[in-house]
A and B are shown apart, each in its own frame.
Chain A
Amino acid sequence: MIAEAGHYALVLALALALIQSTVPIAGARWGDVALMNVARSTALAQLLFAAISFTALVSLHVTSDFSVVNVYENSHSLKPLIYKITGVWGNHEGSMLLWVSILALFGGLVAAFGNNLPLSLRAHVLAVQAWIASAFYLFILITSNPFLRIANPPIEGRDLNPVLQDIGLAVHPPMLYLGYVGFSISFSFAVAALLEGRIDAAWARWVRPWTLVAWIFLTLGIAMGSYWAYYELGWGGWWFWDPVENASLMPWLAGTALLHSAVVMEKRNALKVWTILLSILTFSLSLLGTFLVRSGVLTSVHAFATDPTRGVFILLILCIFIGGSLSLYAWRASALKQGGLFAPISREGALVLNNLFLTTACATVFIGTLYPLALEVLTGDKISVGAPFFNLTFAPLFVPLMVAVPFGPLLAWKRGDLLGAAQRLTAAGVMALIAIALLWAWTYGGSTLAPLAIGLAVFVIAGAFTDLAERTGLFRVPLGTALRRARGLPRATWGSAFAHAGVGIALIGIVCETTWNSEHISTMRPGDVAKVAGYELKLDDMVQRKGPNFREMIARFTVDLDGQKLSVMTPSKRNFTTRESSTTEAALLTRGASQLYISLGDATADGAIAVRIYHKPLVLLIWWGPVLMAFGGMLSLSDRRLRVGAPKPARALRGLQAAE
C-alpha cells in the first residue's frame, strides 16, 4: 500500500512537472499573469508529492518491507535504524529519488522565496527547473522504480553493502546532492535569461546566493566524502583521483569560478556572457557526474548497479540538456548586451584570472577523467589515469592561482594598483619567507618542495588577513576604531577572507600529510610493540564481539608517549555474514590536528595479525580548510545584501561602504 502510494505520488509529481514546464512559458509569451503564476503553485505541489514519495520509501525501509525489491536488496531486519534510513539512498533507485526530491526542494524554494523576482523570469526559471525534473522523474519511473514489488516476498533482506553502513552515508550523499542539484538553480536562471534575451545586475544578485548555497554544500559534501574514505577504507588515503571523486571536483571547480564571476557581474555588470556560460557548464558537469556515477561506465564504490538501459537513458538526458543549453547559448548569447570596461590589472581582472585558472584546472581534470573512457570506446585499449597525471597537471595550475589569491581582494575595481597591492602584502610575504626558512632549517635535507608549498599556504592565509587589516586600519588606528570598523565591514568581506584562508589551511594539511606521514606495517602478536613517530603502540589482546548484524574482532592497543600512557585504541575487523564480506574499522587518535591511525589486516594462522599504523601530521587541516571555506560562504550568505530574496539595498548609506 505504501509502496503504491509512493509510486503514485511520483507519477503525480511527473504530471505536475510537465504542466510546470510548459504552461508558465506560454504565459510568459502571452503576458498572461495567471498562467505564469501556475509555475509557483505547481512547483510547491511538486515538492509535496516528491516528498511524499521519498517519505514512502523511507518508511518502507524502516519497516523492513521485504516485498519491495529495493528494500529486499539493500536492507536487513537486524540493521540498526539509522542505517535503515540512510540505506534508502545507499542504492541506485533510492539515491535517484533523493536526487529528484532535492531538485523539487530547490524548485519549491525558488517558488516560495521568489516573490520579488520579475514575474516572467520566475516563470521561466521554474519551467526550466521542471524540464530537468520531468527528465529525471521519467528516468526513475521507466528504468529505476524503487517501488517495485516481489511476487513471493522473502523473509529476510540481503543487507546493505557493509562499507556503506556508516554514519558517513547519512551525511555525504545528501550534502553532495544538495550541492550538485543546487547548481540547477543557476542553470535555470541562465537558460531563463537566454530565453528572455535579457540579463542585468539584478539577475546576478539573484543567482549568487543560490550558487553560494550549492557551493557550500558541495564543499562540505566533498570534504565529508574524503574524510569518510579516509577512515572507512582503512588505507589512510583521503583523495585518490578516482573518476567518481573527480566527478564531484569538476562541478566544484566550475562552481567556484561561477561564484567569482557572478561577483563581477553583480558589482560591475561585466562578464555577463561568461557567467551565463559558467552557470550552464557547472550544472552540466553536475549532470556528467551523475551520469558517470550512475551509468556504471566506471567501476567504483559509488557505482551501485550496471544496467545498460539506465546508462543510455542518462546519456540521453545529458545530451539533451547540455547540448540544448549550449546551442541556446550559441544562438542567443550575442543578443545579450556587453558589460562594462575594466583594465587587466583590476579586481575584475583578478577575478578573470581566477576563472581562467579554475576552468583550466577543471578542464585538465575533465581530460584525465574522460580520456580513458574515450580511448576505450575508440581503440579498445584500457588505460588508467591515476594520481601522477593529476599531480603533474592540476598542481602546477593551482600554484599561480594560490599566489594570485591574496592580490585579488586588494585590487580596486576597474583599475587596480598592482604595486600598491604588493606593498601591502609585504608583511604576508615576509611571514611566508620566514615560514619557508624555518621549515627548511628544521627539516634540513628533507623535501625542498614541502617548505615552499607551506610558505605559499602561509602567504595565502596571511594575505587573507592583510585584506581585513587594511580595511579596518588595524595597527594604524586605535584598536577600538579598528574593531568598530571590523564590525561595520560587510559580512561578505569576512566571508571571502575566511574562505581564502581555508584554502591555505587545507594546503598546509595536504603538504604535511603527504610529506611527513610515517607508516608502520607489520604482523604483530599480543605483547608486541610498534614505534611510530615517537609513539609506542603495544598490542594488548584481541577479542571477539558480536554486533547487531556482524561479528567483529577488536584489537586493543595501548599508546604511550615518552613512557606515559596516553590512550587505548581499538581498531576492529567486522564480518558481515549476510554478504559474506568484511570491513576494516580503523581506530583514530586525534592529537591536535594530527592523528594516529591503526587499521587491521588479516589474522595469520599462528595468532598474529597484520597491522597498519600511520602517524599523519596535521592531517585534520585537510578537512578544517574546507569547513572554514564553507563557513566563509555562510557568512557571505548571511550578508543582508545577498540574502536570498532580499530586495535592493534598503538604505542608500550602504552604497558608501567599500566594495568587497
Chain B
Amino acid sequence: MTRKQRRLTMIGGSLAVLAVAAALVLNAMRDSIVFFSTPSMVAEKHISAGKRFRLGGLVQPGSLQRGDNLAVSFSVADGSATLPVSYKGILPDLFREGQGVVAEGALDASGTFRADTVLAKHDETYMPKDVADALKKQGHWKDDYGKKPSASAAPQPTQGAMR
C-alpha cells in the first residue's frame, strides 16, 4: 500500500468510529436525558404521566408521612405550587422538612410524583443548586439560606447532590 492509501484507510476507519459514536450519542440523548422542573413548572407544562423528570423544591414543613415498610410521602413546594411525592426506601441523611430536595421519577395517573431516587444531600448552608436557581428566579429566595459567618453572600455548597 502506498502512504496515501494507508492514510486513507486510517482516516476512513477513524471516521467510521466517530460516526458510530455520534450515532450512539444522538440516540442516547433522545432517550436518556432528564429535565428539571419545579412544582409550578409541572403545573404549567402539563407533563404527561410516566415521563421521567427531576423535581426540585422545598420539602413542605409538616408534610412528611412515614407509612409501612419504608413508604414515605411528602410534598415539594416552590412558593406558588406544591406537588405530592411518594417514595419507597431510605431517605438521605440530610433530608429535612423545610429544606431543598431533588427527586427523580415520574408522575402517576393520579398526579402524584413517584420518586425512585431522592437526591437531597446538603448541610445547613446549602441547597441543591438547581433548586436555589429556580427559587431565585421566582423571587422566593431567602438570603439567609446563604448566611455564613464568613463575609461572602452567595450560598456556599459544601456538599452536593449524591445518590
Q: A382's closest neighbor in chain B, by CB?
A: B36
Beta-carbon contacts of B134-152 to A below 8 Å, as 1s and 0s? 1000000000000001101
Q: How far, in whole Å, are A357 and B90 apart by their CA atoms in the complex?
A: 40
A299 near B24: Cβ-Cβ < 8 Å: no
Q: A164's closest neighbor in chain B, by CB?
A: B159
CB of B9 closer than 8 Å to a CB of A: yes
* Choice from B27, B36, B90, B156 contacting A521 with Cβ under 8 Å: B90
B158 near A161: Cβ-Cβ < 8 Å: yes
Contacts of A163 in B (CB 8 A): 159
Contacts of A158 in B (CB 8 A): 149
A389 near B32: Cβ-Cβ < 8 Å: yes
- Whether A388 touches B159, Cβ cut-off 8 Å, given contacts A69-B150, A381-B35, A382-B36, is no
B160 near A582: Cβ-Cβ < 8 Å: no
B35 near A383: Cβ-Cβ < 8 Å: yes
CB of A647 closer than 8 Å to a CB of B: no
B32 near A303: Cβ-Cβ < 8 Å: no
CB of A31 closer than 8 Å to a CB of B: no
Beta-carbon contacts of A57-93 to B below 8 Å, as 1s and 0s? 0000000000001000100000000000000000000
Within 8 A of B (CB), among A478-527: 521-523
CB distance from B60 to the nearest CB of A (A): 18
Q: A344's closest neighbor in chain B, by CB?
A: B9
A601 near B156: Cβ-Cβ < 8 Å: no
CB of A55 closer than 8 Å to a CB of B: no
CB distance from A392 to the nearest CB of B (A): 4
Q: How far, in whole Å, are A301 and B94 apart by their CA atoms in the complex?
A: 13
Question: Which of A73, A306, A364 counts the most B-chain CB atoms under 10 A from its CB?
Answer: A306
* Choice from B21, B130, B154 contacting A393 with Cβ under 8 Å: B21
A300 near B123: Cβ-Cβ < 8 Å: no
Q: A390's closest neighbor in chain B, by CB?
A: B28
A602 near B90: Cβ-Cβ < 8 Å: yes
Question: Which of B91, B93, B154, B160 counts the most A-chain CB atoms under 10 A from its CB?
Answer: B93
Contacts of B81 in A (CB 8 A): none
B163 near A299: Cβ-Cβ < 8 Å: no
A341 near B33: Cβ-Cβ < 8 Å: no
Contacts of A305 in B (CB 8 A): 152, 156-158
B24 near A397: Cβ-Cβ < 8 Å: yes
B35 near A392: Cβ-Cβ < 8 Å: no
Beta-carbon contacts of B42-78 to A below 8 Å, as 1s and 0s? 0000000000001000000000001001100000000
CB of B162 closer than 8 Å to a CB of A: yes
Q: How far, in whole Å, are A229 and B66 apart by their CA atoms in the complex?
A: 28
Contacts of B89 in A (CB 8 A): 521
A383 near B123: Cβ-Cβ < 8 Å: no
Interface bin, chain A: 35 or more
* Choice from B32, B54, B150 contacting A73 with Cβ under 8 Å: B150
CB distance from B126 to the nearest CB of A (A): 8
Contacts of B36 in A (CB 8 A): 382-384
CB of B109 closer than 8 Å to a CB of A: no
- Whether A382 touches B130, Cβ cut-off 8 Å, given contacts A356-B13, A396-B24, A582-B93, is yes
Beta-carbon contacts of A587-606 to B below 8 Å, as 1s and 0s? 00000000000000110100
Q: How far, in whole Å, are A306 and B156 apart by their CA atoms in the complex?
A: 6
Q: How far, in whole Å, are A569 and B114 apart by their CA atoms in the complex?
A: 33
Q: How many B residues face the partner with a CB closer than 8 A? A: 53
CB distance from B6 to the nearest CB of A (A): 6
Q: Looking at chain A's contact residues, is the secondary structure mostly helix, strand, loop, or mixed?
A: mixed
B24 near A392: Cβ-Cβ < 8 Å: yes
A397 near B70: Cβ-Cβ < 8 Å: no
Q: How far, in whole Å, are A161 and B126 apart by their CA atoms in the complex?
A: 12
Q: How far, in whole Å, are A357 and B121 apart by their CA atoms in the complex?
A: 36
* Choice from A233, A298, A304, A306 contacting B155 with Cβ under 8 Å: A306
B157 near A386: Cβ-Cβ < 8 Å: no
A612 near B90: Cβ-Cβ < 8 Å: yes
A344 near B13: Cβ-Cβ < 8 Å: yes
CB distance from B144 to the nearest CB of A (A): 16
A584 near B159: Cβ-Cβ < 8 Å: no
Contacts of B25 in A (CB 8 A): 364, 367-368, 393
Contacts of A154 in B (CB 8 A): 149
* Choice from A364, A386, A601 contacting B32 with Cβ under 8 Å: A386
CB of A32 closer than 8 Å to a CB of B: no
B162 near A356: Cβ-Cβ < 8 Å: no
Q: How far, in whole Å, are A69 and B152 apart by their CA atoms in the complex?
A: 12
CB of A583 closer than 8 Å to a CB of B: yes
B156 near A584: Cβ-Cβ < 8 Å: no
Q: A154's closest neighbor in chain B, by CB?
A: B149
B32 near A397: Cβ-Cβ < 8 Å: no
CB of B80 closer than 8 Å to a CB of A: no
CB distance from B48 to the nearest CB of A (A): 17
* Choice from B21, B66, B93 contacting A584 with Cβ under 8 Å: B93
Q: How far, in whole Å, are A601 and B9 apart by their CA atoms in the complex?
A: 57
A522 near B69: Cβ-Cβ < 8 Å: yes
CB of A113 closer than 8 Å to a CB of B: no
Within 8 A of B (CB), among A12-42: none
CB of A195 closer than 8 Å to a CB of B: no
Q: B2's closest neighbor in chain A, by CB?
A: A341
CB of A385 closer than 8 Å to a CB of B: yes
CB distance from A115 to the nearest CB of B (A): 39
Contacts of A240 in B (CB 8 A): 162-163
Q: A579's closest neighbor in chain B, by CB?
A: B123
Contacts of A383 in B (CB 8 A): 33-36
Q: How far, in whole Å, are A344 and B124 apart by their CA atoms in the complex?
A: 59
Q: How far, in whole Å, are A385 and B161 apart by their CA atoms in the complex?
A: 14
Q: How far, in whole Å, are A249 and B36 apart by their CA atoms in the complex?
A: 25
Contacts of A582 in B (CB 8 A): 93-94
Q: B9's closest neighbor in chain A, by CB?
A: A344
Contacts of B162 in A (CB 8 A): 229, 233, 235, 240, 242, 300-301
**CB<8 Å pairs between A and B, sample of 18:** A161-B159, A163-B159, A240-B162, A300-B160, A306-B154, A306-B157, A356-B13, A382-B35, A383-B35, A383-B36, A384-B36, A385-B33, A393-B21, A393-B28, A579-B123, A579-B124, A581-B123, A582-B93
Given A361-B21, A384-B104, A601-B91, 13 more pairs with CB closer than 8 A: A158-B149, A302-B160, A303-B157, A304-B158, A306-B156, A343-B1, A344-B6, A344-B9, A368-B25, A383-B33, A392-B31, A397-B21, A521-B90
Spell out B's residues near A (CB within 8 Å). Answer: 1, 3, 6, 9-10, 13-14, 17-18, 20-21, 24-25, 27-29, 31-36, 54, 66, 69-70, 89-91, 93-94, 104, 121, 123-124, 128-130, 133-134, 149-150, 152, 154-163
